[in-house]
Amino acid sequence: MELYVLPPSPRAFKVIALKNHLGLDCETRIVDLSKGDQLAPSYVAMNPNRKMPVLEDDGFVLWESNAILCYLASKRPRSGLWPSDPRGQADVLRWLAWESAHWDAESCGMVGYERVSRGVLGLGPAEPAFIARGESNFARFAAVLDQMLSGRRWLTGDALTIADFAVGAWIPSAQNLALPVQNYPEITRWYAGLESLPGWRASMVPAPGARESG
């Protein structure tokens, strides 16, 4: 398997952290967005969206980071990270959708796009109105996350799942983007649990000020 990624972007981090957590045999290839690697015809043939990450497994090509999480976790069904029972699976799917629609596109990712990705992609200065909207949405959705984590070790209960990888991958970026993660005690407690996983720690990239959310 090969993963096409640009760490420390959260969409890259989540798939790298899961690969490391599961000990999967998988090469990583850097997609340098600042150099336009995502625009190369060979890359566009894999992902016509011209975005990373992408997974390639023996001719099977998969884009969308949360779909990649499902696929990687399916390689180790006994890990329980992608449950097979209908309610467990739907609960995880709920959080994968929430992460993509709200945590990424409307809050952390919106602020990251304006403050970091625009620079990486050469798209000009940030638009303050989008930063303000992203910060306001962060307060809204971080409160939901904090409340839902109350009384739970992990996002969907006692067991770690790929939902934790998807949502938790944004916390280092949120901190670097000065989003006030520290105001949410349940998020802080839960994230400490993720950071204690050896595979998670091994995936951290020390890159202060550089492409935290690209």
Ligand X SMILES: N[C@@H](CCC(=O)N[C@@H](CS)C(=O)NCC(=O)O)C(=O)O
Options 20, 28, 89, 100; binder of ligand X; rule CB under 6 A: 100
Site for ligand X in 20-49 (CB under 6 A): 33, 38
**Between 137 and 176, how does the x/- string for binding to ligand X read (CB under 6 A)?**
----------------------------------------
Of these, 20, 24, 50, 62, which contacts ligand X (CB under 6 A)? 50
Residue with smaller CB distance to ligand X, 38 or 176:
38
CB of 51 to ligand X, least distance (A): 3
Residue 118 is a binding residue for ligand X (CB under 6 A): no
- The reply on whether position 15 binds ligand X by CB under 6 A is no
Look up tokens 């280092």; give the residue. 172
